[in-house]
Amino acid sequence: MGIVALQVSRAERQRGYIPYTRRPINWHTDGYYNGPDERIRAMVLHCVRPAEDGGVNQLLDPEIAYIRLRDRDPAHIKALMHPEAMTIPENREPDGTLRPVSIGPVFSIDPDGSLVMRYTARTRSISWRDTPETTAAVRALTEILNGDDPMMLTVRMKAGQGVLCNNVLHNRTGFDPDASAESRRLLFRVRFHNRVKGS
């Protein structure tokens, strides 16, 4: 799907999008705003230059999140598998193109039996299905992601290091807080519609 450079940017087409700022990014899976036919199932993050300060990622396999939720209450899984569980409204890109509304489940199962997760912890430009079951499920997932699950990985990538995964849940701390100095942090990202073969 093409290689994208993740770095602080003032380019018009990237302005206002958090991945191109120093700001922290909350828990999400990549492409959570994509339609059902454009699901992101795998991705690569490769660090060219780390931040001087910060830029730490946490990673959690969606299957672990699924198991934790199911263990709390199977009703959470049912609520988050509803086809209208999470809605991302349409968005007009800086170049004028319109990204259509995306309505779908948080958890779904591919024809090959693989689990797919579509999620963001953002609170703006998102709406959840208005049911007590969905509210309870989202709250439980938030608690899990804000906890200290032993299966959660924390990594501050060094130059030459990277992550290849089946679109795991991930976040990022803010970095290089001195706004008067230029940040050299540079990561390359590649997204895929297919899972990592053999995984």
Domain ranges of the chain: 3-192
Tell me how far apart the alpha carbons of residues 20 and 94 are, in angstroms, rounded to a whole number. Answer: 14
Tell me how far apart the alpha carbons of residues 91 and 151 are, in angstroms, rounded to a whole number. Answer: 34
Tell me how far apart the alpha carbons of residues 2 and 82 are, in angstroms, rounded to a whole number. Answer: 31
pLDDT at res. 11? 77
Range 93-113 average pLDDT = 88
Tell me how far apart the alpha carbons of residues 61 and 115 are, in angstroms, rounded to a whole number. Answer: 10
pTM listed for this prediction: 0.92
Give yes or no for residue 197 having a pLDDT over 90: no
Give yes or no for residue 89 having a pLDDT over 70: yes
Give yes or no for residue 84 having a pLDDT over 90: yes
Give yes or no for residue 12 having a pLDDT over 90: no
Question: What is the average pLDDT value for the chain, to the nearest integer?
Answer: 93
Give yes or no for residue 30 having a pLDDT over 70: yes
Instruction: Output DSSP code: residue 160.
Output: T
pLDDT at res. 1? 64
Write the CB contacts of 99 (distance below 8 Å, at least 6 apart in sequence): 33, 90, 91, 92, 93
Q: What is the pLDDT of residues 121-178, one digit of tens each?
A: 998 889 999 999 999 999 999 999 999 999 999 999 999 999 999 999 999 999 999 8
Q: What is the dihedral of CA 189, 156, 160, 122, to 10 degrees?
A: 0
pLDDT at res. 101? 93
pLDDT at res. 190? 97
Alpha-carbon distances of 45 from 4, 71, 120, 151, 162, rounded to whole Å: 10, 31, 18, 20, 5
pLDDT at res. 94? 67
Classified as helix, coil or strand, 166 is coil
pLDDT at res. 64? 98
Where is pLDDT greater, at 123 or 63? 63
pLDDT at res. 35? 84
Tell me how far apart the alpha carbons of residues 34 and 99 are, in angstroms, rounded to a whole number. Answer: 9
Radius of gyration over every alpha carbon of the chain, rounded to an integer in angstroms: 17
The CATH superfamily label for domain 3-192 reads Clavaminate synthase-like (3.60.130.10)
pLDDT at res. 169? 98
Give yes or no for residue 14 having a pLDDT over 90: no
Tell me how far apart the alpha carbons of residues 39 and 17 are, in angstroms, rounded to a whole number. Answer: 20
Instruction: Output DSSP code: residue 77.
Output: H
